[in-house]
Amino acid sequence: MSEEKVLEEENGQVNCGGSVVSDHSETEILDVVQPPLFGRGICRDEPLSKTGKKLQLFKMLCLTVIPIIGLWGYTVYTLADILNSRAENDKQRSSVYYSIDVGQLVHRLQVERDMSVLYLSELGPETRTFLLAEYINTDRTIDRLSYWPGDLDKANGAMFLSKANFRDYLAAHRQILSRDQFSIQDEIDFYSRIIDTTIYWLYNTITESKFSLVWKILVAYQKLASAKENVGVERALGTMFYSRGGFESHSYFETYNKRLHSFRAHMKTAGMYSEFVKQIYNVGLREQNNGTNITSIIESFRTEIQNVENTSTIDIAKSRYWFDNMTIYMDTLLDIQTQMAQKVIKILDVAIEDLTIDLAVYAILLVVVILMCPLVILATESLTSSIQIYALTLVDKTNELASEKARKDGLLYQMVPRQIANRLKKQKKVEAEYFKSVTVCFADVYSFGHITVELTPKELITLLGSLHNTVDNILEEFDAFKVETINDSFMVASGLPHRSSDRHATEIANFSLKMLNTVTEMKFCNGHRTIKLRIGIHTGPCMAGIIGFKVPKYCLFGETINLATRIKANSTPNKIHISNTTNTILSKYREFKIEKKGDVTQQGKTDIVTYWLVRKSGDANHRVHEHDTDKRQGRQADGNEEDCPGEIASIQESNEYVPMKSNGKSKDDNRNTARVAPTVTEKEKEKKAMKKMKIQK
């Protein structure tokens, strides 16, 4: 068989135009190289084509660029969040600053109210000159406000539409203020309504912003502002109580108690969110100079006012003492309120600074990510190209390796049958086997000695090359194996190493007929010469095994080989000479035209009857029986088939004597049986034959 054909049968490949193409589908190859994870898989493409290269590049870019895009998106989102947080903190900071200004306005209005009440009471001077300073301070506080809401009081909105309207409203009241036209309660109600509206404005200013970091402090700040307003009203009512010897009516008493209870509720609530306020409310406020507990003094006054609604005794000194202590208490609450606002501003400043640092870090990260994208794309494209170049190189090397493997296997299959070669490649021990029935064909060129004299060595080599190539091509169509080739002579056998019952005889017969017809019609040496073949066929038992390790040879041993050589030597040019055993098997099939030749004399042995194989018979439809053996089965077997019934598998299991060839042989016998090794038994038989010849003489 040829190297290419052997490679096809061994590896399941087809040789097309010099390239080796696997008979496995591309899908099967991809199943091994790229096993699918889900369904068809996302990476199962041909990477060596241009389209596959683009797809692979796109997929690799997706694997690298998608995370970068995700990081870029996360960075942008974080930057936006930081910017929003910074803007919110800036807004909170502005709101806190604004609330401080509003708190100052509330305080100035409280002071102006209390000074007006003091003027209307018996404690005040006869003129309003001392009130002018308070009026100026209040106006300056109004001017410091960054903006002015126009809906402070929806019921009386005209006075609160702008700063100018509000100042005009206050100025008009200040001008008509006198003891004859206004009472203390009227003054308290006038300023209290304005202060309540302003405190409500303060609440809205703080509530509109999301103070997630400082909400506790701001709640305390709001409650403290409300408590301070109640203390201011309480100071005015207490001053009136002591300066007039009691309240003028029961409604003043109820207002006082209401303001006192409201102050305590707001202070208690503020103390829940501020430890400093809690300490002042529970422990009390002490004067810094002499350590006097101002809270205790104020509580004693409160107890007196609550228990005695009308004393009918005017005490100006006590009234002044009450007013001074309440003023200190209110100033302390204002300081606490301002400190709380400053603390909130400090916390927000730290938060804004941290956000600024985060903003810078994420901005740098965003720039790095943006710069990384083109670098990653270029690196991925370069890496993909390098991998594909390496893959192409690997494919070329793989093809070269497959070609070298084909040569190696082809040489091995020329020396031994494919089935035996597969065992050798698997490093299995190949033992000698006994075959009960095989058919052996010997053939050579008639008058080859004269041809060698007439042709030059180069022409002779060309002739033999053409002859053997033709024989090899014909041999591929049959279940037969060329055992040996020496110059013009060669030996072909069938029925081994795969046993095929009697079908081997028909295989050799068909092969011989086709070979003879083909060779006789061929022209050699540029069409100037034809050749004639002598062919001999014999069927019988033999031994077969591997000889040699480094250069293994599949050799046949036995009398069958000797007899086939002798039959070939007694053949006529361009005729096929067969033995009686071969004729017996072929006759069962009625496929061939066979003629009797006569006897062939063997020195020291019984003559044998031989026949001529003429041609295939035209009456090929009538056969004695059909055999189920596939004549290609020998090429597909793996070397582990079972023995045919009645045959012996190996030489270790055989006790049957295998007769070998005798010494009587012709010159052709010596040339064509170089592989036959005489045994000790054969030598004994030769000695007996020599003794018998001497006795006859």
In tens, the pLDDT along 582-619 reads 989 888 888 888 888 877 777 767 778 899 998 887 64
Q: What contacts 373, CB < 8 A, 6 or more positions away? A: 65, 68, 69, 72
Q: How far apart are CA 480 and CA 684, in angstroms?
A: 34
Q: Are residues 270 and 159 in the same domain?
A: yes
Q: How confident is the model at residue 18 (pLDDT cuts 50, 70, 90)?
A: very low
216 C-beta neighbours (distance < 10 Å), count: 13
pLDDT, one tens digit per residue, over 596-606 is: 887 777 776 77
| Per-residue confidence (pLDDT) for residue 697, from 0 to 100 | 44
Q: How far apart are CA 227 and CA 230, in angstroms?
A: 5
pLDDT, one tens digit per residue, over 118-142 is: 788 766 676 778 888 888 988 898 8
638 C-beta neighbours (distance < 10 Å), count: 10
Q: Are residues 497 and 608 in the same domain?
A: yes
Tell me how long the chain is. Answer: 697
Q: How far apart are CA 639 and CA 419, in angstroms?
A: 5
Q: How far apart are CA 608 and CA 579, in angstroms?
A: 8
CA 256-259-264 angle, to 5 degrees, is 125
The CA–CA distances, whole Å, from 103 to 147, 222, 223, 337 equal 14, 10, 12, 8
Whether 448 maps to a domain, the answer reads: yes
Q: Are residues 208 and 288 in the same domain?
A: yes
356 C-beta neighbours (distance < 10 Å), count: 12
Domain holding 563: CATH number?
3.30.70.1230
Q: Is the pLDDT of residue 38 over 50?
A: no
Q: How far apart are CA 396 and CA 204, in angstroms?
A: 81
Q: Is the pLDDT of residue 643 over 60?
A: no
Residue 408 vs residue 540, higher pLDDT: 540
| Per-residue confidence (pLDDT) for residue 261, from 0 to 100 | 92
| Per-residue confidence (pLDDT) for residue 1, from 0 to 100 | 42
Q: Are residues 475 and 572 in the same domain?
A: yes
Q: In this structure, what are the phi and psi dihedrals at residue 234, rounded to the nearest 5 degrees?
A: -60, -40
End-to-end CA distance of the chain: 52
| Per-residue confidence (pLDDT) for residue 208, from 0 to 100 | 52
Which of 177-186, 201-210, 405-414, 688-697 has the highest average model confidence (pLDDT)? 177-186
Q: Are residues 438 and 353 in the same domain?
A: no
Q: Which residue has the tokens 């909130």?
A: 344
Q: Are residues 237 and 315 in the same domain?
A: yes
Q: Is the pLDDT of residue 384 over 80?
A: no
Q: Which residue has the tokens 């008009």?
A: 172
| Gyration radius of the chain's alpha carbons | 62
Q: In this structure, what are the phi and psi dihedrals at residue 48, rounded to the nearest 5 degrees?
A: -95, -15
119 C-beta neighbours (distance < 10 Å), count: 21
Q: Are residues 437 and 515 in the same domain?
A: yes
| Per-residue confidence (pLDDT) for residue 15, from 0 to 100 | 40
Q: Is the pLDDT of residue 669 over 60?
A: no
Q: Are residues 137 and 261 in the same domain?
A: yes
Closest C-alpha among 214, 243, 242, 224 to residue 92: 214
Tell me the three state secondary structure of residue 524. strand
Strands 433-445 and 489-494: antiparallel
Q: How confident is the model at residue 652 (pLDDT cuts 50, 70, 90)?
A: very low
| Per-residue confidence (pLDDT) for residue 426, from 0 to 100 | 74
Candidate from 71-75, 138-142, 152-156, 381-385 with smallest mean pLDDT: 152-156
Closest C-alpha among 538, 580, 584 to residue 562: 538
Residue 627 vs residue 99, higher pLDDT: 99
Q: Are residues 453 and 559 in the same domain?
A: yes
Averaged pLDDT, 142-163: 73
Averaged pLDDT, 256-273: 88
| Per-residue confidence (pLDDT) for residue 534, from 0 to 100 | 92
Closest C-alpha among 204, 264, 207, 270 to residue 234: 264
171 C-beta neighbours (distance < 10 Å), count: 11
User: SS3 string of 587-644?
Assistant: HCCCCEEEEEEEEECCCCCCCEEEEEEEEECCCCCCCCCCCCCCCCHHHHCCCCCCCC
Residue 503 vs residue 281, higher pLDDT: 503
Whether 694 maps to a domain, the answer reads: no
Closest C-alpha among 318, 345, 375 to residue 123: 318
Q: Are residues 165 and 89 in the same domain?
A: yes
447 C-beta neighbours (distance < 10 Å), count: 12
Specify whether the CB–CB gap between 652 and 635 falls below 8 A.
no
Amino acid at 208: E
Residue 215 vs residue 470, higher pLDDT: 470
Averaged pLDDT, 332-359: 83
Q: In this structure, what are the phi and psi dihedrals at residue 157, rounded to the nearest 5 degrees?
A: -75, -20
Whether 484 maps to a domain, the answer reads: yes
Whether 51 maps to a domain, the answer reads: no
- Last residue of a domain, which of 364, 382, 406? 364
Closest C-alpha among 259, 234, 238 to residue 247: 238
The CA–CA distances, whole Å, from 620 to 99, 404, 593, 606, 616 equal 121, 45, 10, 34, 8
Percent with pLDDT over 90 in the chain: 5
- Last residue of a domain, which of 585, 616, 647? 616
Question: Residue 131, CB half-sphere, CA atoms under 13 Å: how many?
Answer: 23
Closest C-alpha among 67, 427, 182 to residue 172: 182
Residues paired with 353 in a beta bridge: none
Q: How far apart are CA 28 and CA 37, in angstroms?
A: 15
Q: How far apart are CA 132 and CA 186, in angstroms?
A: 20
Residue 632 vs residue 351, higher pLDDT: 351
Q: Are residues 341 and 442 in the same domain?
A: no
| Per-residue confidence (pLDDT) for residue 37, from 0 to 100 | 47
| E strands present in 455-532 | 481-486, 489-494
Question: What residues make up the domain containing 231?
Answer: 81-364
| Per-residue confidence (pLDDT) for residue 631, from 0 to 100 | 39
Tell me the three state secondary structure of residue 35. coil
Q: What share of the chain is helix, strand, coil (3-state, %, to 5)?
A: 60, 10, 30
Specify whether the CB–CB gap between 615 and 575 falls below 8 A.
no
Whether 537 maps to a domain, the answer reads: yes
Specify whether the CB–CB gap between 616 and 610 falls below 8 A.
no
- Last residue of a domain, which of 310, 343, 364? 364
| Per-residue confidence (pLDDT) for residue 29, from 0 to 100 | 45
Specify whether the CB–CB gap between 388 and 48 falls below 8 A.
yes
Q: Are residues 133 and 256 in the same domain?
A: yes
Candidate from 81-90, 167-176, 294-303 with smallest mean pLDDT: 81-90
Whether 669 maps to a domain, the answer reads: no
Closest C-alpha among 524, 662, 530, 505 to residue 587: 505
Tell me the three state secondary structure of residue 21. strand
Whether 188 maps to a domain, the answer reads: yes
For the chain, the average pLDDT equals 75
Residues paired with 19 in a beta bridge: 16
Q: How confident is the model at residue 540 (pLDDT cuts 50, 70, 90)?
A: very high
Instruction: Please give the tally of structural domains in the chain.
Output: 2
Closest C-alpha among 566, 522, 557, 420 to residue 481: 420
Q: How confident is the model at residue 492 (pLDDT cuts 50, 70, 90)?
A: very high
Q: What contacts 287, CB < 8 A, 6 or more positions away? A: 293, 294, 328
Whether 73 maps to a domain, the answer reads: no
Closest C-alpha among 580, 651, 645, 581 to residue 611: 580
Q: How far apart are CA 326 and CA 637, in angstroms?
A: 118
